[in-house]
Structure 1
Amino acid sequence: MMLKKVYDFSALETALTDISGELEETFDALLPVPDGGDAKVVEAMRYALFAGGKRLRPFLVRATADLFGVSRTSSLRAGAALECIHTYSLVHDDLPAMDDDDLRRGKPTVHKAFDEATAILAGDALLTFAFEILADESTHADPRVRAALVSLIARASGHHGMVGGQMLDLDAEDKTLGEQEIIRLQQMKTGALIVSSVEAGAVLGKASPHARHALVAYARAVGLAFQIADDLLDHTASEAEMGKATGKDADAGKETLLSLWGEDRAREQARILTEQALGYLEEFGDKAELLRDVAQFAIHRRR
């Protein structure tokens, strides 16, 4: 009988813990609660930002930027901007008009902890705050790099990427989608921001076109593997394990790669994607070890 390989993610977990702490310090400094009537929206922004989570996107920025010797301040600020965008998307996704969720990361969602109007405004403010961070010269001394980051992340988070994917997802209820339609939806809704996190590190490091292409290919494979793993966890894990409601896609009649392929094929496809992702990192040698860990973590995580 073949023994199942056990992966050691301790280095990755340490790195994720480290960047989570640095992010919270950064947000604490960048986003103090003001005096006056606007305090409530900032409190809601902070509530969402400090709710925890894997901090995967900021980590991907840093791990990629480290390949090119980028300063930690630059990668942390770019990662903070991406975390603001990711967090805004969760705040809006949880609203009654969207997924109508009461829990996020085991805590009441923003519209439950505050109110619906405040949640909308907090999401809007997080999105715009992200670009304020990116455009500041503290993020990078070269204005061309800052402009490239703004363009890259705006495209990934807007109608070409995350927002467009969310629209496709809302429109997918009780529709029969083919494999390529589902993949496109997931690459836009979830994958685009993951890809832009990796690509942002390459932009900060002024990477060669060849290196940037390899990293984008890695990120696309990892992003789709993460989404397949999310679908599997949504199908197999409990609400307590996930910290949010599970089984909602199935209840809404939404097609996923899991519903299309079945559990065994979905797991195999996630494994293949992970192997592809690892292949794209070969040219970076040992420097990319944490990025390799992310690829394995995508399909072996439990929440």
Structure 2
Amino acid sequence: MSYSISYLMENYSKLFTQELHNTLPKTDHDDILLTSMKYSLFTPGKHIRPFLVNASAQIFNVNVNRTLSISVAVELIHVYSLIHDDLPGMDNEDMRRGQLSSHKKFTEAIAILTGDALLTLAFETLSTINESPYIRCRIIQLLSQAIGYQGMIKGQVLDTETIAKDIDDIKTMHMLKTARLFSVACELGGILGGASDTELNALRNYGLNLGLAFQIKDDIEDICDDKSKNNILNILTKEDSENYMNSLIDRSIEYLAIFPNKTDILNNLAEFIRNLQ
């Protein structure tokens, strides 16, 4: 039986959300830190990055339960980055996912510490997954590289400190700030499945192109006349941006050709992102 991508994502999200609840500290009474962590974690979201871990692992017939803790770690990191991204010293956003951003709901100090706590919990979670020492260390290594100086944080610095002058500048920011986390989510699923270097490279490039396309889609939806904001619409027309996004989606799908008859979920996810409203 064939299920829609929306159904598969919703079904995985239920399993994933329960695992997320199980991962949080257990206390008799939620203090302000735990309250703040839950506030940002359990807002409505598509959970695309966690789903990428699972969808990539499914190519290699990995049991879904093996993907959950890793998916949780990826989401913890993603939410930490959103909390810090919204801070007054960065994007200074008042709203996130239809509710007050963390620093507006609580305080700037609590928002910073909440992000710190989520990032720390992500690596605590990864350190205890029931995998071989090699797989645990490889996962931690790849994820650290994707979100640190060579990845997401470097992208945030570029976004904060520079104004993109051309499409190459925008692509570099998008690659580091957004696409690297998409890419590593795919790689982690492959690591669980014992993927070869060639297969990991294909998953990596699928994720990079998909992440770039996702960020362009986000830019298009977030139309902004403020030229101080790094938005692709300040570089390209909306039509050219959409054409570029579609070419990236097409390219991401092409990278899956080395997995014949095994990538329906990833193909459909790419089309899902293409058609996001």
Both proteins in one fold, TM over 0.5: yes
Q: Who is 1:185 aligned against?
A: 173
Runs of 4+ in structure 1 off by over 3 angstroms are none
Q: Who is 1:298 aligned against?
A: 273
CA positional deviation for 1:10:
6.7
CA positional deviation for 1:137:
3.3
Q: Who is 2:125 aligned against?
A: 133
Q: Distance in 2 between matches of 1:251 and 1:33?
A: 44
The alignment partner of 1:156 has SS state of helix
| 1:43-192 pair list within 5 angstroms | 43-138=35-130, 140=131, 142-172=132-162, 175-192=163-180
TM-score, length of structure 1 as denominator length: 0.86
The yes-or-no answer on 1:275 pairing with 2:267 is no
CA positional deviation for 1:91:
0.8
Cα distance per residue 1:70-124 (max 9 Å; x no partner):
2222211111100000000011111112112121111111122222211111100
1:299 is aligned with what amino acid?
Answer: R
Q: RMSD between aligned alpha carbons?
A: 1.7
* Contact 2:36–2:102, Cα closer than 8 Å, also in 1: yes
Cα distance per residue 1:118-154 (max 9 Å; x no partner):
111110000010011111133x2x1100000000001
Distance 1:233 1:29, change over 3 A: same
The yes-or-no answer on 1:21 pairing with 2:11 is no
Q: Identify which of 250, 260, 264 aligns with 1:285.
A: 260
Q: Distance in 2 between matches of 1:65 and 1:294?
A: 14
TM-score, length of structure 2 as denominator length: 0.94
Q: Who is 1:3 aligned against?
A: none
The alignment partner of 2:46 has SS state of coil
CA positional deviation for 1:210:
1.1
Q: Distance in 1 between matches of 2:164 and 2:200?
A: 36
CA positional deviation for 1:180:
1.4
The alignment partner of 2:262 has SS state of helix
Distance 1:228 1:215, change over 3 A: same
**Structure 1: 5+ residue runs without aligned partners?**
1-8, 236-246
Q: Distance in 1 between matches of 2:137 and 2:181?
A: 17
Q: Distance in 2 between matches of 1:152 and 1:228?
A: 24
Cα distance per residue 1:213-234 (max 9 Å; x no partner):
1111111111111111111111
The yes-or-no answer on 1:230 pairing with 2:215 is no
Q: Who is 1:208 aligned against?
A: 196
Distance 1:122 1:252, change over 3 A: farther
Q: Distance in 1 between matches of 2:264 and 2:217?
A: 21
Q: Distance in 2 between matches of 1:29 and 1:256?
A: 37
**How many pairs align?**
276
1:256 is aligned with what amino acid?
Answer: N
1:23 is aligned with what amino acid?
Answer: F
**Structure 2: 5+ residue runs without aligned partners?**
none
The alignment partner of 2:140 has SS state of helix
1:103 is aligned with what amino acid?
Answer: M
Q: Distance in 2 between matches of 1:89 and 1:252?
A: 23
1:130 is aligned with what amino acid?
Answer: A
2:144 is aligned with what amino acid?
Answer: A
Q: Distance in 2 between matches of 1:24 and 1:220?
A: 25
CA positional deviation for 1:209:
1.0
* Contact 2:164–2:170, Cα closer than 8 Å, also in 1: no
1:95 is aligned with what amino acid?
Answer: L
Q: Distance in 2 between matches of 1:164 and 1:35?
A: 39
